[in-house]
Amino acid sequence: MIGALGPAESLCAVAIVLTGIWYYLVANYSFWKERGILGPEPGLIFGNMKDVLLVRENFGVQLKKICDQFPGAPLIGVYDRRTPVLIVRDPELIKDVMIKDFSTFSERGMPVHDKVEPLSTHLFNLETTRWRPLRSKLSPAFTSGKMKNMFYLILECADYFEEYLNNIVEKGEPIDCREITAKYTTDVIGSCAFGLQMNALADEDSEFRKMGRKFFKMDPKRRVLSLLRSSSPWLYELLGISAMGDDITKFFLSSVKETIDHRMKNNVRRADLIEMLMEIKNHPEKSDFELTDAIIAAQAFVFFIAGFETSSTTISHALMELAQNHDMQERLRQEIIESLEANNGDITYDGVKKLKYLDMVFQETLRLRPPVLLHMRKAMAEYTFRGTNLTIPKGQMIWIPTWEIQQNPEYYPKPTVFDPERFTDEMVKARHPMTYLPFGDGPRNCIGARFGTYQTKLGLIKILSNFKVDMSDKTNIPYVPNPAAFLLEPVGGVHLKFSKIK
Ligand code: HEM
């Protein structure tokens, strides 16, 4: 076509096309200025996310860097490529979004592709109509009473973890904490959510551990497919290539199906999460949407994915801090040992609950190193923020920058210092509750917070009651967040020296 034109016309045609592309790329970039909202200047194609998209900076860290440029601003406007996104960082406004006006912000705006990615139809991603009934059916599985019933299953895995540690510590080499704790939490979730003995600790080739590792490893192909999924969902659907990987999908679909079939055939009853899913599956009349096998499997899948890495990373982060703070480590060990002695060496659900200093260490670990660095919400209707002139349109994406808030010196003086004393009852009461959000908040908060807390604390109890933990030649200080990781993790991992306590 261009060949039929003269040189001037061809140049003109190229210029028009380029101008059209340029206009498409920058057309939204006045969105925040027009609404009087502060924000950094966006760059072409990447908006304000260049370093994140080029895997040079961690997402949460990038948001903190942006927020630091606008001290005190309650709302900041940024662009994720072409899309305007609002950072909400004022605690009162966060409360409105997460709790008070939840009905307007009940979704995260995550992609759900029933056909291409059947496992994406889980609680974390689902749109409100399917999320609400599922959440209310699954919540009873995580009550304090249910946790108490499941406690023996977690304890079984923790006992096995202790035995495993005794064997590997004998070798005298630095321990790759993230790997061994991920094996422990894989076993816990496997036992509680899938009703299976996964033996990730015993079996180097455990399929579940392999799948877990694979899910969190973003290779270039998955990165490109994920970008395509968020920028052109229709093209993603059309291509039909899953960003998650067919092997992961097939593995989880068949694992859950086999477990349920086995239990039904053999009338197996067990106080675990799969029992809850079976209950839902066996009573489809109580649901107003089709409960396919894929939707059931997707829930077990999200318990696995959301449940093992968050807790194992938290154990590793706590150990990394305690290895640098021996007085805290010793105080915590004493608390644990005294409690064990008072209970004839037994660990009980109520006994763990009473360990106050363990709780303070746990909370401070999640303050300084929250595995999930930001929360997302999507406006389901036009919305005006309280006390402001800002009205956002339906569909507006919101980011709540957890990492930035929990590192803000206004709420946490000397924020980079690990200090469990920040979590005495008095100190907690003195702070705005929205300045501590490792599990999110409101109706869409972490459903597994109690579960994650117990498996993390049990892991720490087993380690600290048996071993002294020190830095090793392979421990990377200062802490540098890995830009390629989904969740917060340090570059180079967490390698520590364990020595057996006599
Ligand atoms: C230390 C451990 C954990 C941390 C730090 C953590 C953190 C989080 C965060 C920040 C969210 C988003 C909350 C929000 O947007 O307000 C979330 C959601 C979720 N988490 Fe966790 N989590 C942990 C353990 C677990 C465990 C053990 C499970 C399951 C067994 C789990 C299952 C889920 C699910 C299903 C959601 C989506 C909830 C919904 O949208 O209804 N998490 N988690």
Closest CA relative to residue 374, chosen from 11, 64, 135, 54:
64
Distances (CA, A) of 142 to 18, 98, 147, 448, 454: 55, 21, 6, 7, 11
109-496 maps to CATH 1.10.630.10: yes
Cβ(450) to ligand 1 under 6 A? no
Determine the pLDDT at residue 226: 85
User: Do residues 322 and 289 lie in contact, with contact meaning Cβ atoms separated by under 8 Å?
Assistant: no
User: Do residues 212 and 182 lie in contact, with contact meaning Cβ atoms separated by under 8 Å?
Assistant: yes
184: burial class by Cβ within 10 Å (0-12, 13-18, 19+)? buried
Pairing state between β 391-392 and 75-80: unpaired
CA atoms of 78 and 80, how far apart (whole Å): 7
Integer Rg of the chain from CA: 24
Task: State the closest ligand 1 atom to the C-alpha of 372, by its place in the atom list counted from 1.
Answer: 10
pLDDT digits (tens, 9 = 90+) for 437-465: 999 999 999 999 999 999 999 999 999 99
Cβ(109) to ligand 1 under 6 A? no
User: Do residues 465 and 340 lie in contact, with contact meaning Cβ atoms separated by under 8 Å?
Assistant: yes
Determine the pLDDT at residue 286: 66
CA atoms of 302 and 448, how far apart (whole Å): 10
Closest CA relative to residue 317, chosen from 109, 445, 496:
496
Determine the pLDDT at residue 1: 53
Cβ(102) to ligand 1 under 6 A? no
Determine the pLDDT at residue 116: 87
Tokens of 244: 């998650």
Determine the pLDDT at residue 218: 77
* Cα 143 to averaged position of ligand 1 atoms, centre (Å): 14
Which residues of the chain are modeled with pLDDT < 50?
none
**Which of 127, 446, 457, 489 gets mutated to test ligand 1 (max ligand atoms within 8 A of its CB)?**
446
Determine the pLDDT at residue 2: 54
Q: Reduced to 3 states, what is the DSSP secondary structure of residue 353?
A: helix
pTM, entire model: 0.93
Determine the pLDDT at residue 51: 94
Domain parsing of the chain, residue ranges: 109-496
CA atoms of 432 and 131, how far apart (whole Å): 29
**Which of 439, 456, 488 gets mutated to test ligand 1 (max ligand atoms within 8 A of its CB)?**
439
* Cα 271 to averaged position of ligand 1 atoms, centre (Å): 21
CA atoms of 213 and 207, how far apart (whole Å): 10
User: Do residues 124 and 303 lie in contact, with contact meaning Cβ atoms separated by under 8 Å?
Assistant: no
Q: At what angle do helices 207-216 and 177-193 cross, to 10 degrees?
A: 120
* Cα 171 to averaged position of ligand 1 atoms, centre (Å): 35
Cβ(124) to ligand 1 under 6 A? yes
177 annotated binding-site participant: no
